[in-house]
Amino acid sequence: MWNDLKKHHAQVGHRRFETLLDGARAADFSAQAGDMLLDYAKTNIDATGRALLFDLLAQTGVAAKRDAMFAGAPINETEGRAVLHTALRNLDGGPVVVDGVDVMPEVLQTLDRMAAFAAAVRDGRFAGQGGKITDVINIGIGGSDLGPAMATLALAPYHDGPRCHFVSNVDPADIAGVLRGCDPTTTLVIVASKTFTTIETMTNARTAQAWMGQTVRDTGAQFAALSTAADKTADFGIDPSRVFGFADWVGGRYSMWGPIGLSLMIAIGPDAFRAFLRGAQAMDVHFKSAAWHENLPALLALVGIWHNQVCGHATRAVLPYDNLLSRLPAYLQQLEMESNGKGVNMDGADLTVPSGPVVWGEPGTNGQHAFYQLIHQGTRVVPCEFLVAARGHEDDLHHQHQLLVANCLAQSEALMRGRDLNAARAKLAGKFTGAELDRQARHRVFPGNRPSVTIAYPQLTPFVLGQIICLYEHRVFVEGVVLGINSYDQWGVELGKELATALQPVVEGVQGTQDKDGSTAALVGFLQRAGV
Ligand code: F6P
């Protein structure tokens, strides 16, 4: 399956793709979903390469698997579960049947309960001991934190509710810093945990409970829970009226569309939250219905597969020229790397091509003054993914936004064009001569021919954010199907958790280090002597 693509790459890999860019290519190698544009013309993919990539979709049955996912089939085979986060945004798409039961009435009822609670928090009908809620603290980690934290920041211009804080790390510095700025009598604590067993979250939740208990008589009344484990939320003392449940067919990193999005909903209001869901639903519809050559999630996945599995570029930089998306790279790290960072296929056989790439990034223009040096002149090629809005939210500073856009476009152009030795020499002529001119010029050469894609949209509204996140979710799905892996489990996080539990008594000095390797034992010893 991969041979034809690799052969094609061997033939075209060294050409300068800039030479492909005639007038027609920009239109041919781009696609639109609603008013969002994906441009992948600045890559070395040509019509032959693209046709071979489309063959991958046919050979691995992506269309049938996509339909199976939307229909509630148990495609998460290692956990025996359906994968139905799409149902959470299926606002008017009709029934979704799992094991013979239409899940939509319950999904919509929970959404209505969330909206009623969010509205009450926002207008003061739900209050703390000291009055109207001024601060909401979401305590969760991984998918129970990254999604709502990223989206709440991204939609800051729409934020008209109480202040929202996100605590995730078991490092006490995280929660202590947040609690310091809050009044316990007007704070709502939301404990977000699908399993309600995650050690970081439960530890922080108990710390918050103790903090609140110093001032507030009925702490339980100022706690809410987002979880699939109703028995455990009850044991923690949270009244069922403030527990928002969801089913096990919602994966943690795909869960922000439902109860895990409660803090976002409180921040921006139920209407804006529904607009966010509608953006995702529009992308769902697009993914289900658009032909592959117009299908943004499929195209984005295939471009990624070309760069990673075919060209061998192991990482991908996500570079939002949209400061509101500064947490997007962190969010995508979980979405993509926890989903497609797998070494075996669905049958348990070793993958014959690399797993999903290392995803990393920072917003532009900040990154330009940090790591872009390596992207432009380092010896490894880093495919880049730019995101940019036509308009910001600061109408009076639009000229400044235009400068941001110019920087974004300049980077993808510079990565593609580069600057050869002659051009570098010409720039320095007059300043240096002879061998020194050559030596200095070589430092100023840009190899160019470095690929990038650009995702452009009118403005980062709730609807557009929903489109973007859903686009990435389905990209992960397509990549996972092509690789033949299960994108919906995460066994790779378990071993570290087990060893941490076993190491806690060792760190505390209750148990000795005799069962530990020499390095771990020495580190424990150092930290104990230093006061741990
Ligand atoms: O450890 C990984 C993980 O299971 C993620 O997949 C998940 O998003 C996170 O932990 C938090 O899990 P929970 O919501 O159950 O606390």
Mean of pLDDT over the chain: 97
Ligand 1 atom 16: residue of nearest CA: 193
Q: How confident is the model at residue 185 (pLDDT cuts 50, 70, 90)?
A: very high
Catalytic residues: 338, 369, 497
Residue 106: is its pLDDT beyond 90? yes
Residue 93: is its pLDDT beyond 90? no
C-alpha span between 402 and 389 (Å, rounded): 10
In this structure, what is the dihedral angle of CA atoms 477, 481, 486, 490, given to the nearest 10 degrees?
-40
Please, are residues 149 and 167 in contact by the beta-carbon 8 Å criterion? Answer: no
Element (H, E) at 244: strand 243-245
C-alpha span between 101 and 114 (Å, rounded): 22
Q: What is the pLDDT of residue 129?
A: 98
3-state secondary structure 39-55: ECCCCCCCHHHHHHHHH
Reply yes or no on domain 85-274 having CATH 3.40.50.800: no
- Count other C-beta atoms under 10 Å from residue 24's C-beta: 9
Is 329 a pocket residue for ligand 1 (Cβ < 6 Å)? no
Q: What is the pLDDT of residue 140?
A: 98
The maximal CA–CA distance of the chain, rounded, in angstroms, is 82
**The model's pTM:** 0.97
Is 490 a pocket residue for ligand 1 (Cβ < 6 Å)? yes
Q: How confident is the model at residue 55 (pLDDT cuts 50, 70, 90)?
A: very high
Q: What is the pLDDT of residue 29?
A: 98
CA 9 to each of CA 1, 5, 47, 159, 208: distance values in angstroms, whole numbers, following the listed order: 14, 6, 13, 47, 55
Please, are residues 269 and 8 in contact by the beta-carbon 8 Å criterion? Answer: no
Calculate mean pLDDT across residues 278-303.
98
Ligand 1 atom with the smallest distance to the CA of 146 is 8
Percent of the chain residues topping a pLDDT of 70: 100
Q: What is the pLDDT of residue 283?
A: 98
Residue 454: is its pLDDT beyond 90? yes
Calculate mean pLDDT across residues 11-19.
96
Element (H, E) at 179: helix 172-180
Is 449 a pocket residue for ligand 1 (Cβ < 6 Å)? no
Q: What is the pLDDT of residue 488?
A: 98
Residue 1: is its pLDDT beyond 90? no
Instruction: For residue range 305-315, list pLDDT tens digits in order.
Output: 999 999 999 99
Instruction: For residue range 484-508, list pLDDT tens digits in order.
Output: 999 999 999 999 999 999 999 999 9
Nearest to 339 by CA among 101, 532, 69: 69
Is 516 a pocket residue for ligand 1 (Cβ < 6 Å)? no
Q: How confident is the model at residue 17 (pLDDT cuts 50, 70, 90)?
A: very high
Q: What is the pLDDT of residue 194?
A: 95
Calculate mean pLDDT across residues 438-454.
98
C-alpha span between 417 and 403 (Å, rounded): 20
Please, are residues 508 and 489 in contact by the beta-carbon 8 Å criterion? Answer: no
Residue 271: is its pLDDT beyond 90? yes
Distance from the alpha carbon of residue 378 to the mean position of ligand 1, in angstroms:
35
Is 85-274 the same fold as 2-21+42-59+290-483? yes
Distance from the alpha carbon of residue 392 to the mean position of ligand 1, in angstroms:
33
Calculate mean pLDDT across residues 12-17.
96
Domain boundaries, the chain: 2-21+42-59+290-483, 85-274, 495-530
Nearest to 113 by CA among 192, 205, 224: 224
Which of 198, 200, 233, 253 has the most ligand 1 atoms within 8 A of CB, as the residue to mutate? 198
Instruction: For residue range 318-337, list pLDDT tens digits in order.
Output: 999 999 999 999 999 999 99
Q: How confident is the model at residue 395 (pLDDT cuts 50, 70, 90)?
A: very high
Nearest to 441 by CA among 429, 451, 453: 429
Calculate mean pLDDT across residues 423-447.
97
Q: How confident is the model at residue 213 (pLDDT cuts 50, 70, 90)?
A: very high
Distance from the alpha carbon of residue 255 to the mean position of ligand 1, in angstroms:
10
Q: Which two tokens stand for residue 479?
A: 């990549």
Residue 510 falls in which region: left (phi positive, over 0), alpha (psi -120 to 50) or beta: alpha
Ligand 1 atom 2: residue of nearest CA: 493
Q: How confident is the model at residue 464 (pLDDT cuts 50, 70, 90)?
A: very high
CATH number for the domain running over 2-21+42-59+290-483? 3.40.50.10490
Q: How far is CA 462 from the centre of its chain?
A: 16
Instruction: For residue range 348-358, list pLDDT tens digits in order.
Output: 999 999 999 99
Q: Where does residue 498 rank: exposed (0-12), middle (13-18), buried (19+ CB within 10 A)? A: exposed
